[in-house]
């Protein structure tokens, strides 16, 4: 059976810790290497990753491509619309064809069941590059960022404010696995996926659900938000109005701990979910977080290929 990375639970807490440590080591080992050079070792030499995008991407696309190159392998990027997939070829047949040629597949799609269908038929590792349900690769980078800024994961108080979306679902999943707590502040009607809330609680995390941004952010170690309108969603005026009290501004971040970090998976919409002042401020680590997508992808790739 290939090792798939459809959600964080596929790896589990020990493997996630191993990924974070591997990413820290490889990131440090690259210090001093010129950009464009492969890593000192090339553990994925000869391996090829096929990437299928049904939605836009900058970070996921470039970080996986660069990760494969720096690990000695290669990646190919395919726009689903220009594949036969876009003319009605099934996911199952696409998976069986690609699986006979490439070594692993990453797919960014809307419906999570398409990802599962791909994994069922590919015969090679399949990686979730974001679905409407979850975004596990992002969270490995986020955890790496938090750890590299000197914060231990167990017992951490993470505050999420805004839309209860796919990124939040993977944070909740990580909370249960890595033993931290999450306070979620959303407008009514935009609460997180109850399956992920229940799973995190069952694993022992304190998950607080509130409709107050300040209540969520108060005393937090980490403050996270994301776009109010995810890819594929309607840009409804009513949603933006409901989200307005959940903007991360100077007042809200002041209610968190003085050394709290601000995270955002990007792309950001300044003036909507976050003000320019917070985004550019001293507590914002969003570009470390973006860079860490590269280092995290390497560890995810090494894990699916059985090297971690
Ligand atoms: N954060 C993230 O997944 O970015 P992209 O949509 O640019 O890949
Ligand atoms: N929640 C966002 C994340 C983008 C990386 C979306 O799904 O569009």
Per-residue pLDDT tens for 86-119? 999 999 999 999 999 999 999 999 999 999 999 9
Give residue 88 CA to ligand 2 midpoint distance, Å: 25
pTM for this one? Answer: 0.98
Residues recognised as catalytic: 108, 135, 138, 226, 265, 293
pLDDT value at 79 more than 80 = yes
- Tell which wins on pLDDT, 267 or 35: 267
Average pLDDT score, the chain: 97
Summarize the confidence of residues 54-76 as an average pLDDT. 97
Q: Which residues line ligand 1 (CB under 6 A)?
A: 57-60, 130, 138, 265-266
**Which residues, in sequence order, are CB contacts of 287 under 8 Å at separation 6+?**
none
Rounded to the nearest 10°, the torsion over CA 162, 207, 21, 99 is -70
Closest-lying ligand to the alpha carbon of 65? 1
Say yes or no: CB of residue 268 within 6 Å of ligand 2: no
Summarize the confidence of residues 120-124 as an average pLDDT. 98
Distance CA 152, CA 147 (A): 6
Residue 267, preceding peptide bond in cis (omega within 30° of 0): yes
pLDDT tier, 215 (very low <50, low <70, confident <90, very high otherwise) = very high
pLDDT value at 44 more than 90 = yes
Q: Whose CA is nearest to atom 3 of ligand 2?
A: 230
pLDDT tens sequence across 282-305: 999 999 999 999 999 999 999 999
Q: What pLDDT shows up at residue 32?
A: 77
């Amino acid at each position: 059976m290939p090792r798939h990375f459809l959600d964080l639970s596929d790896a589990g807490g020990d493997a996630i810790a191993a990924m974070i440590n591997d990413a820290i080591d490889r990131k440090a080992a690259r210090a001093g290497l010129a950009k464009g050079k492969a890593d000192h070792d090339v553990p994925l030499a000869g391996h090829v990753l096929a990437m299928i995008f049904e939605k836009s991407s900058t970070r996921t696309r470039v970080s996986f491509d660069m990760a494969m190159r720096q690990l000695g392998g290669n990646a190919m990027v395919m726009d689903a619309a220009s594949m036969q997939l876009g003319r009605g070829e099934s996911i199952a047949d696409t998976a069986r064809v690609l699986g006979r040629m490439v070594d692993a597949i990453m797919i960014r799609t809307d419906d999570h069941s398409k990802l599962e269908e791909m994994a069922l038929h590919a015969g090679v590792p399949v990686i979730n590059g974001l679905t409407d349900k979850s975004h596990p690769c992002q969270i490995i980078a986020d955890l790496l960022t938090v750890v590299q800024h000197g914060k231990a994961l167990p017992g951490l108080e993470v505050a999420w404010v805004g839309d209860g979306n796919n990124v939040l679902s993977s944070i909740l999943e990580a909370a249960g696995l890595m033993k931290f707590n999450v306070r979620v502040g959303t407008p009514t009607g935009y609460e997180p996926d109850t399956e992920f809330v229940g799973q995190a609680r069952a694993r022992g995390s304190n998950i607080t659900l509130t409709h107050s941004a300040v209540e969520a952010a108060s005393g937090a170690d980490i403050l996270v938000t994301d776009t109010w309108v995810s890819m594929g969603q309607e840009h409804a005026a009513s949603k933006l109005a409901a989200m307005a009290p959940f903007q991360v501004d100077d007042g809200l971040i002041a209610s968190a701990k003085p050394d709290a970090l601000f995270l955002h998976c990007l792309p950001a919409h300044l003036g909507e979910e976050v003000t320019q002042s917070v985004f550019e401020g001293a507590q914002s680590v969003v570009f470390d977080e973006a860079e860490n997508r590269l280092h995290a992808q390497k560890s995810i790739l090494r894990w699916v290929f059985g090297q971690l």
